[in-house]
Amino acid sequence: MPIRVVHLEDDPLDAELVRETLTADGIPCTITLASSREAFLAAIETRPDIVLADYSLPGFDGPAAQRLVMERWPDVPFVLVSGSVGEERAMSTMRGGATDYVLKNQLRPLPGVVRRALNEAQERLRRLRAERELKQLNAGLEQRVRERTRELERLNEAIAGREEELRRSERFLSSIVEQMPDAMFVKDATTLRYVLFNRALEGVLGRTGPEIRGRTDAELFPKTEADALAERDRAALQSQALVDVGEESFRTREHGWRTFHTKRVAITDEQGNRRYLIGIARDITDQRSVEMALRDARIEADRANRAKSDFLARMSHELRTPLNAVLGFAQLFQQDALSPEDCESVQQIIRGGQHLLDLINEVLDISRIEAGHLAISCEPVNVCEVAHEAAEMIRPIAVSRQIRVTVNDCTSEPVIAHVDRQRLRQILLNLCSNAVKYNRPGGKARVSCAVSVNGFVRIAVRDSGYGIPQNKLPLLFTPFERLGAELTGVEGTGLGLALCKRLAEAMGGALSVESEVGEGSTFFLDVPQAATEPASAPGTEGETSPTPAIAASGQVLYIEDTHANVRLMHRLMARRPGVQLLHAPDGETGLRLFAEHHPPLVLLDLHLPDMSGEEILRRIRAQRGHQPKIAVLTADASAAQKQRLLATGANAYLTKPLSVPDVLALLDGALTDG
């Protein structure tokens, strides 16, 4: 019969994808969808078989839903089905009792997770029933042992020394022992020899009754294990109550090393003397193996994540380093007196290099989104300006395909949104690029910006392309899903729209689409409207860095092993004739030149052939006497690295590709007297 599923989700498309994923994998189910706390409480009023929940909903979230389920139905499996919320949050929900965690953009594991969760729930119920039975048996055993002890006391008082009563007592205890589902034994309190035991213990030890009865552990196990068991037996005999020994491992004849959860209790006579030691041992070897496998899987997943992060960091460094020379020399040319044609050419180089840098950052953004570490800095932004920038960047491609790209004119009444400018441009560039790539030859693409009535700014990107079938629209924002475009000559990875949707949501907005086959598609980006005007930004094209009123002068030590970067710095220093550049290609040479010349400013790369730049920074800061200003110039753009280097003693942290005005400003600030 179908399983009962309660799904906490406020996005109908995500809910439908979950339903289709389960159904397509052959899991019969009835799904009750809830998008608020009240609806969720009503849905779990009757015990469901499993609960699926998004991490974050307006006014309600997955952890809150998890607590409600744990309070009402602690045995019902709870699976988080959400966007990336970060490894720490995901592990927190797992520690809180969640069965598993599945990303919305990777639903293929969901059926397996559901089946495993249901199986684990059934296994937990079975274990709980067994534990309850064991507790009942333990309680009954203790009660019956106490009753029998009192009976023995009365019998000893009435007919002391009668062996028949002793045999009856032994038969009674043997009957109790044989009925226990776990391995059980009774030892003589003085000699610690086995007096009674059940078939379960015989199976564990792989020995027959005659091989066990009357023997000690020293005769059944190696000395080290036998000594450990005897020590625990004596400790239990000294206690006045049931002793939970916990886990203990020993080798068995047929099954090798096994792990048991053992409890022991001492039985006394009427004078209070210890007569017997009763033990109950449950084999938990398989349970521990599963736990170890899960731990190893988590360790392997962490290792894979670290390896991925290291790879992305290395790739970022290797790609940013040559871009430093491309953009750096282009900026220097831009500051020279050039003809209009040459100025336009240099500007195209800068725009193209910046676009390549944006692509590198996009790959890193995907990694940060998956880890839940995406940095967003929102401010008032004129969206029309950004729309024009995006349209200009894709215009050469549009011209080559004879596609007309237009942006509505909103200069009379600017449309201002509260967004991250870089992320907004990233989204619009992707949407405009798609409007050109997937358009008809000679088609049209139009970008319009307007303020909607609900306090949001709506940016629409329309194309006159072939359109998208309605049944494929739910898959449009799925990573690596290109809806068959991979079979055409149009290049792409299938990551752009998925990343755009995540970026829009991170800025408090949304990305949606409408499409009609044969007519084209329209993508709608809704972002919050800003309450204030954006601050005026200085122009970047054709600007020069003025020489300060008091010219910068002095020595600058540049520790860098990449020849192109050194050439760039020499050309840049020509803008400040009073500055002498000392170059060191490695760390040891840099430390020697620093000791000889004591320059007031050190420019330091982090990746050097003989030592790290961080090590040089520490060694300089550890010296007494002259302390220069130290600026780190690196291709590592991670916020954590910047924060650590500044805390170590760096005065500035500039990311490659370098901004020429920023470097000149650094020189002027560090080398200008007064």
Does position 334 have pLDDT exceeding 90, yes or no?
no
- pLDDT confidence of 308, banded at 50, 70, 90? low
User: Cα(19)–Cα(27) distance, rounded to whole angstroms?
Assistant: 10
pLDDT at 61: 84
Sorted by sequence, the CB contacts under 8 Å of residue 528 that are 6+ apart come out as 417, 418, 419, 455, 456, 457, 507, 508, 509
Write b or e for each residue in 326-340: b if 16 or more Cβ atoms lie within 10 A of its Cβ, otherwise e: bbbbbbbbbbeeeee
Structure tokens at 562: 């990449």
pLDDT at 89 over 90: no
Return d(Cα 207, Cα 184) in angstroms, integer.
14
Residue 123: pLDDT band with limits 50, 70, 90: confident
Distance, CA of 140 to CA of 144 (rounded, Å):
6
Q: What's the burial of 36, exposed, middle or buried (CB within 10 Å: 0-12/13-18/19+)?
A: middle
Q: What average pLDDT does range 182-210 have in this prediction?
A: 87
Query: Per-residue confidence at 194, pLDDT binned at 50, 70, 90?
Result: very high
The residue with greater pLDDT, 353 or 524, is: 524
Rounded to an integer, the average pLDDT of 284-293 is 84
Considering the chain, what is the average pLDDT of its residues? 83
> Residue 289 in contact with residue 257, Cβ under 8 Å?
no
Q: Is 490 helix (H, G, I), strand (E, B) or coil?
A: coil
Q: Report the number of secondary-structure helices (H) and strands (E) in the chain.
A: 19, 24
Structure token digits, residue 10: 């406020």
Token pair of 98, please? 């969640």
CATH fold match for the domains 3-124 and 554-671: yes
Per DSSP, the three-state class of 10 is coil
Q: Cα-Cα-Cα-Cα dihedral of 238, 244, 250, 253, to 10°?
A: 100
Cα–Cα distances in angstroms (integers) from residue 536 to residues 350, 377, 405, 533, in the given order: 22, 17, 27, 9
pLDDT value, residue 547: 47
265-271 mean pLDDT: 87
C-alpha 282/C-alpha 182 separation (Å) is 5
Question: Where would I find the H helices in 401-495?
Answer: 421-437
Q: Given the DSSP bridges, would you call strands 379-382 and 416-419 parallel, antiparallel or unpaired?
A: antiparallel
Give the mean model confidence (pLDDT) for residues 632-642: 81
**Domain segments of the chain: what residues?**
3-124, 161-283, 376-528, 554-671
Query: Could you tell me what percent of the chain has a pLDDT over 90?
Result: 27
> What is the DSSP secondary-structure string of 322-346?
HHHHHHHHHHHHHHS---HHHHHHH
Q: Please report which confidence band the pLDDT of residue 139 belongs to, taking 50, 70 and 90 as the band edges.
A: confident
Question: Residue 246: helix, strand or coil by DSSP?
Answer: strand
32 membership: H or E segment, kind and range: strand 29-34
At 545 the pLDDT is 47
Which residue type is seen at 140?
A: G
Handedness of CA 400, 401, 402, 406 (dihedral sign): negative
Ranges 393-397, 485-489, 581-585, most confident: 581-585
- 540: Cα within 13 Å, side-chain hemisphere: 13
Q: What is the homologous superfamily of the domain 376-528 according to CATH?
A: Histidine kinase-like ATPase, C-terminal domain (3.30.565.10)
CATH of domain 161-283: 3.30.450.20
- Does the pLDDT at position 302 exceed 80? no
Three-state secondary structure along 523-592? EEEEEEECCCCCCCCCCCCCCCCCCCCCCCCEEEEEECCCHHHHHHHHHHHCCCCCEEEEEECCHHHHHH
Residue 82 pLDDT > 90, yes or no? no
Question: How much is the pLDDT for 301?
Answer: 72
- Sorting pLDDT into bands at 50, 70 and 90, what band is 425? very high
Give the C-alpha separation, 603 to 606, whole Å: 10
Topology at the third CATH level for domain 554-671: Rossmann fold (3.40.50)
- The confidence band for 31, taking pLDDT boundaries of 50, 70 and 90, is very high
The CATH classification number of 3-124 equals 3.40.50.2300
| Neighbouring-strand partners of residue 246 | 262
**Percent of the chain clearing pLDDT 70 (strictly above):** 87
pLDDT of residue 487: 47
Beta carbons within 8 Å of 121's beta carbon, 6+ residues apart: 49, 50, 75, 76, 77, 99
Contacts of 292 by beta carbon, 8 Å cutoff, 6+ apart: none
Give the C-alpha separation, 44 to 73, whole Å.
9
Does residue 98 have a pLDDT over 60? yes
Which of 90, 88, 83 is CA-nearest to residue 66?
90
Q: Does residue 285 register a pLDDT over 80?
A: yes
Whether pLDDT at 591 is above 90 = yes
Q: Tell me the C-alpha to C-alpha distance, in Å, between residue 48 and each of 44, 74, 100, 242, 409.
A: 6, 11, 17, 38, 55
What is the reported pLDDT for 317? 66
3-state secondary structure of 102: strand
Amino acid at 642: K
Candidate from 231-235, 368-372, 402-406 with smallest mean pLDDT: 368-372
Task: State the pLDDT at residue 540.
Answer: 39
The 8 Å CB, 24+ separation contacts for 374-379 are 374/502, 374/503, 374/506, 375/639, 376/420, 376/423, 376/506, 376/507, 377/420, 378/418, 378/419, 378/420, 378/507, 378/508, 379/418, 379/419, 379/420, 379/421, 379/530, 379/534, 379/535
Confidence (pLDDT) at 539:
42
pLDDT band at 537 (very low <50, low <70, confident <90, very high): very low
pLDDT at site 373 = 63
Q: What is the pLDDT of residue 485?
A: 57
pLDDT score recorded for residue 538:
41
Q: Give the HSE-up count for residue 401: Cα atoms under 13 Å, Cβ half-sphere.
A: 21
